[in-house]
Amino acid sequence: MRHAKSDWDTESQSDFDRPLNERGKLAAPIIAQEFINRNIVPDKIFSSTAIRAKETAKLVAKKLNIELKAIEFDMRFYFGVKADYLQFIQQIPNEINRALIIGHNPHIENIVNILAQNKEKSEAMPTAAAAYFVFETENWNKVLPNLGILNFILKPKEL
């Protein structure tokens, strides 16, 4: 999932410290509600440490009744390179069946394209968009490029 829409009106703040704007605060729970509707609620949320991603994660968790202390924040989703996303996914504990990663473009679009075997379904990831994959393995360390089945991409404007 890409973080929700952030506020660009705060010139004095760094990119890392930009908060969500009002549209972003509305979009994150919309996506979370669609997770509920489709019965794809994640077991665990992993998020970038940037303020807008943290706020997105907290809004999603609240809507899904996931305790905020259960969110794991990792700076690699902000400061890292695209390979960090795949390496992180491969290190998710196997007792977690469904994980949600909240990060930033271009890395979110890149990892969607890297994982999807059905690349024709891959498309732009606007703010608060979430891509849903199925992997034919029970071991996260066996998640490899081009092996994920991209079922759909959820976008707030389409819900």
Instruction: Determine the structural domain holding residue 127 and report its residue range.
Output: 22-158
Q: With left for phi above 0 and alpha for psi between -120 and 50, is residue 73 left, alpha or beta? A: beta
DSSP-assigned beta bridge partners for residue 47: 73, 102
How many domains are there within the chain? 1
Calculate the alpha carbon distances from 128 to 91, 94, 139, 143 in Å: 24, 26, 27, 24
User: 6 lies in a domain?
Assistant: no
Distance CA 150, CA 70 (A): 26
The predicted-structure confidence for 17-56, as pLDDT tens digits, reads as follows 999 999 999 999 999 999 999 999 999 999 999 999 999 9
The predicted-structure confidence for 65-103, as pLDDT tens digits, reads as follows 999 988 999 999 999 887 899 999 999 999 999 999 999
User: 14 lies in a domain?
Assistant: no
- The mean predicted confidence, pLDDT, of the chain is 95
User: 8 lies in a domain?
Assistant: no
Distance CA 93, CA 15 (A): 31
Distance CA 52, CA 7 (A): 9
User: 123 lies in a domain?
Assistant: yes
Find the CATH number of the domain harbouring 84. Answer: 3.40.50.1240
